Chain A
Amino acid sequence: MTEPTSPGPAGEDGAEAPKAPLSNKERMKIDRVAMPEQEGDIRAHNFGEVNLGLTYQLAMLEAERCIQCPKPFCVDGCPVRVDIPRFIKFLRDGEIAQAAESLLNDNALPCVTGRVCPQETQCEGVCIRAKKGNPVAIGYLERFVADWAQANIDQLPTAHPTQTGKKVGIVGSGPAGLTAAGELARRGHDVTVFEAFHAPGGVLIYGIPEFRLPKDIVQAEVDRLVSDGVKIEVDAIVGRTYTIPELREDYDALFLAVGAGLPVFMNVPGENFKGVYSANEYLTRVNLMGAWNADSKTPILHGQRVVVVGGGNVAMDSVRTARRLGAAEATIVYRRSLDELPARKEEVHHAKDEGVRFELLTAPEEVIGDENRWVTGLRVSSMELGEPDKSGRRRPVKIAGSEHVIECDLVVVAIGTRANPLLTGSAPELTVNEYGYMIADEWGMTSMPGVFAGGDIVRGAATVILAMGDGKRSAQAIDSYLKGVWPPEGVDPKGNRETAAAAG
């Protein structure tokens, strides 16, 4: 990999001579940069961030790789429709403040998405360069620009939108809620976010571990929203502390973004033995309550041999956390094969580098405990893949006589979450489907006029970026609703398309 010799952004004296723009042919010859990261065997024992971020030189080199397509597929691939070529062009031209302004205009939480988005299936997956070689490292560039913005917030213009006098209540401060809050505050609405926990961020603080998304970064993103006028009320459990009808009286519109927080268990014998955690509990103790720190007042069981059941990003976060908490052996048990693992490729790759074992095509049958009901193992069966099921994935079928025991002292169950009835149960006016998820129309409005919903509580457990897409789209619809324009104009209900006219 070649690095340019430029020392950094041109100084105020403008000493650096302007470079001639590269031709596309030259751009195509530049190899994708590699993300600097902590070595696997070192990072497996600390909670420091794995990806260290691009240097200025690497970012500038990577920015040169973008050929500035006139009809960029990457924008269509992004659930919040970041104008990717635009911010990359600013960066390439050395206009980093303008790159940051452009990015923040499209995306309320770019430091977060630059770290946790599955770019390989979104913007980068459809990048024209991916057809022949490696796509532009859009996620790395997004993170680079976003981190610069966070460190240099004083160099960015502060928006002073005209206040509309309309009040919007947002329930839940996860990615959907925070995104909607940012969008609505920028449009001059008076926004209050209600959070059930003692700190805002939702899954960004209780779920995603420090080594993937440092909590200071999330806090700084929240601080920026607060400085834009967003109010946050913590310890407010809507459904208990307040009811929806009550909030509806106090606010001109509501956005419900409470996530799908209820853990799903395996429903096998022995599941209530000591040493069986839901991933939610395991990660919340470690992340939100700080149990990764030995001085924490909140205890966590440190397994020597930890089995994590599940194959998604939450399972990867759990198993990598177990390694960092000192597990000599940390194993993923997943009932399908490597090809079906729902986790991001990068997470699986990181987990392997950190010494995580994968027992694939393996399904749990029973948790085994000792006479004191402490976990000693997980009885499992081997599986083979049969016919595709409703999800289109091949259904795992048990191989007769294949039962065996994986010895372990901790089991973390990461096989999904479902809707929490706490909020919907307190508002019978809200229509939910058979699984308890809220039903919203194409604009995100629920069965209660003026009450919108988005994120996992509507779509079921998904990703941060899809929740953010819902937050952005709902904010646009709410803005229109508050202006008395209904149905909204310029917002494509299916995909968060915004016309240039509506964006202005």
Chain B
Amino acid sequence: MHPVVEREQLSPNVVRLVVEAPRIAKVRRPGQFVIVRKGPGAERIPLTIADNDPEAGTITLMIQAIGVSTTELTSLQVGDAIQDVAGPLGRETDLIASGHAVCVGGGVGTAVLLPIVKALSEKGIHVTSVIGGRSKEWVILEPELRACGDVVVCTDDGSYGRHGFVTQALKDLLDAGGVDAVYAIGPVPMMKAVSEMTQPYGVDTTVSLNAIMVDGTGMCGGCRVTVGGQTKYACVDGPEFDAHAVNFQELADRLTTYRSFEQAALARQADEAAKGACATTEVKA
């Protein structure tokens, strides 16, 4: 069992959990993820490891409540426990050796980005983080990112920072020149837009793909993605890939495989919540 030792609500649907997992805390590298299973009968959910504390034996997970299983995880309180945490899985991030990196985060993708930004900053790389959200309350981890370099915040409604999408802020940085690498993590349409934007500039761009998976070790093949015309497994060959080679259309499509199941499960959950008169707001990323 893996007790939750800290919990923080980062945005209306993103929660930060610090969880005991001593072995993973010791060996985890930036870019890697774990698969968690809350308890008997629960789904296996892949989650990026946002941070680790080898001395305390803990790892940090940032979870966005988008379905029934993720809502169960975000509902965990300090003292509760997760039955299974397996990992670390996936390859570590390929960090540039020197220069200027722009790290673009959308929604909960910002949480996945944080360990990369930290690792780059620790290597002495100049990092500019570009993060976005619908409005101010959806912007997460700004102080943590600011501790590692410059931060540009964008909101769709202009309630905080720049008015507009992260891609517009990214374009300004690319036009200014001197960008050696871009790391972009967020919803598939955002990563696709970033990839299309950086391509003409010839800037190496890395994305982290959130494909559907079961085991996380290469066994099920459910997370197959097409990269450079070849089938790759996000779990073992990734999760990070060269954005310019990724077939985003296919990824976006495959991510909808279980949409009807997810909607039915959410409807059931809403019914039950209504009965208990404590409905929670569900927001789809």
Contact = CB atoms under 8 A, between A and B. Distances in A.
Q: Which of B41, B217, B219 has the most chain A CB atoms closer than 10 A to its own CB?
A: B219
A98 to B, nearest CB: 38
A281 B256 contact: no
Contact of B215 (A196, A274, A299): A196
A385 interface: no
A139 B176 CA distance: 75
A488 interface: no
Contacts of A162: none
Interface string B243-257: 000000010011011
A467 B217 CA distance: 21
A64 B108 CA distance: 68
Interface string A253-267: 000000001110100
Contacts of B119: none
Interface string B188-213: 00000000000000000000000000
Interface in B42-88: 42-44, 68-69, 83-88
A71 interface: no
Nearest to B27: A241
Contact of B44 (A237, A278, A289): A289
B86 A196 contact: yes
Contact of A262 (B216, B219, B253, B261): B219
B69 A237 contact: no
Contact of A235 (B84, B214, B220): B84
A272 B224 contact: yes
A56 interface: no
Given A241-B88, A274-B253, A262 B218 contact: yes
B263 to A, nearest CB: 11
Contacts of B224: 265, 272
B215 A235 contact: no
Contacts, number: 98
Interface residues of B, number: 39
Contacts of B23: 241-242
Contact of B88 (A240, A271, A290, A373): A240
A90 B256 CA distance: 58
Given A281-B221, A297-B69, A422 B214 contact: no
B45 to A, nearest CB: 10
Contacts of B88: 240-241
B87 A237 contact: yes
B41 A274 contact: no
A259 B41 CA distance: 25
Interface of A: 196-198, 234-237, 240-242, 261-263, 265, 271-272, 274, 277-278, 280-281, 284-285, 289-290, 296-299, 301, 372-373, 420-422
18 contacts: A196-B217, A197-B215, A198-B86, A241-B23, A241-B86, A265-B231, A272-B226, A272-B231, A274-B256, A274-B257, A280-B219, A289-B44, A290-B41, A297-B69, A298-B44, A298-B214, A299-B261, A372-B253
Interface of B: 23-24, 27, 37, 41-44, 68-69, 83-89, 214-222, 224, 226, 231, 236, 250, 253-254, 256-258, 261-262, 265
